[in-house]
Amino acid sequence: MLDTKVKVSDNSEIVRIFKAACKSIKNRPIDIHAISHDASHYLLTPKLIAVPSNINEVSSLLAAATKTKMPVTFRSGGTSLSGQAVTDGLLIDTRSSFRKIVTKDVGQSISVEPGSTVRAVNSRLLRFGRILGPDPASEIACTIGGVIANNSSGITCGIHANSYKLFLL
Ligand SMILES: Cc1cc2nc3c(=O)[nH]c(=O)nc-3n(C[C@H](O)[C@H](O)[C@H](O)COP(=O)(O)OP(=O)(O)OC[C@H]3O[C@@H](n4cnc5c(N)ncnc54)[C@H](O)[C@@H]3O)c2cc1C
């Protein structure tokens, strides 16, 4: 159970709470500084990095963040150009896990976890002669989670086949 009385200034207590929520919590300076920037010119140093391996850990992390009033940012490929994937709070890495891809109905639909890169998804669709709508130039590194959150586009998809059109309409 999470402790409801949390002194936010007490860093070791904060770490303990987040470690109870997720097995992989990193707070060594080398880990934190390695991930403190995305592809933009912004630099924010996260207090903690969490690398959840399943949805239960994500859920527990969000509950812990709410209790400790810790701001949360998800980070996946980290290719954002305007600082979308940086924070001075808790950075949740959804790139290391969450990479499952399952094609269905002879490639007519595909079920994709958010850490899968656009390239990995298109590689699976290739045998069916199909391709995702959004075609960002960063497709080798950017992931479905980041593509949807950023409404990514590309040189050929324009706005008729961008992320909002493809995934949300
Ligand atoms: C060389 C280069 C070329 C690029 N070309 C294009 C282009 O042609 N078109 C284009 O639109 N953009 C382009 N971009 C920008 C960028 O690559 C895209 O916006 C990309 O979709 C970001 O994906 P990402 O996985 O790197 O996300 P990140 O940068 O890691 O995150 C992006 C946003 O998504 C959120 N997020 C990530 N994962 C999740 C999740 N699982 N759940 C909820 N939220 C999540 C983050 O919090 C953040 O707000 C380019 C960038 C570079 C560096």
pLDDT the model gives residue 164 = 83
User: What's the 16 CA to ligand 1 centre distance in angstroms?
Assistant: 31
Last residue of a domain, one of 64, 93, 122: 93
Q: Is 146 in the pocket of ligand 1 (CB under 6 A)?
A: yes
Q: Tell me the mean pLDDT in the region 108-128.
A: 96
Supply the pLDDT for residue 168: 59
User: Per-residue pLDDT for 53 more than 50?
Assistant: yes
At 60, the pLDDT band (50, 70, 90 cuts) reads very high
Residue 2: the pLDDT is 47
Same domain, 79 and 157: no
Whether 97 has a pLDDT exceeding 60, the answer reads yes
The two beta strands, 90-93 and 48-50, are parallel
**Both 81 and 129 in a single domain?**
no
In a 3-state reduction of DSSP, which class is residue 17? helix
Query: Are 159 and 153 within 8 A, CB to CB?
Result: yes
Predicted local distance difference test score (pLDDT) of residue 166: 73
Query: Which element (helix H / strand E) includes 139?
Result: none
Which atom of ligand 1 lies at the shortest distance from residue 114's CA? 41
Percent of the chain with pLDDT over 70: 92
Query: Both 76 and 105 in a single domain?
Result: no
Q: Whose CA is nearest to atom 23 of ligand 1?
A: 146
Q: Are residues 16 and 88 in the same domain?
A: yes
pLDDT at 7: 46
Question: What is the span of the domain harbouring residue 105?
Answer: 101-165
Closest CA to 92 of 64, 72, 111, 106: 72
User: Quick check: 142 and 117 in contact, CB under 8 A?
Assistant: yes
Q: How confident is the model at residue 1 (pLDDT cuts 50, 70, 90)?
A: very low
Domain shared by 68 and 121, yes or no: no
User: What average pLDDT does range 133-161 have in this prediction?
Assistant: 93
Residues 119 and 146 placed together within one structural domain of the fold? yes
The answer to whether 99 and 113 have CB atoms below 8 angstroms apart is yes
Tell me the CATH number at 66.
Answer: 3.30.43.10
Find the mean pLDDT for residues 27-48: 95
Spacing, Cα 9 to ligand 1 middle (Å): 32
Segment 66-93, tens digit of pLDDT: 999 999 999 999 999 999 999 999 999 9
Choosing from 93, 125, 143, the residue where a domain stops is: 93
CB of 102 sitting under 6 A from ligand 1: no
Nearest CA to ligand 1 atom 33: 146
* Average pLDDT for 127-143: 95
> In total, how many domains does the chain have?
2
- pLDDT score, position 167: 67
Determine if ligand 1 sits within 6 Å of the CB of residue 80: yes
- Clarify whether residues 16 and 59 are in a common domain: yes
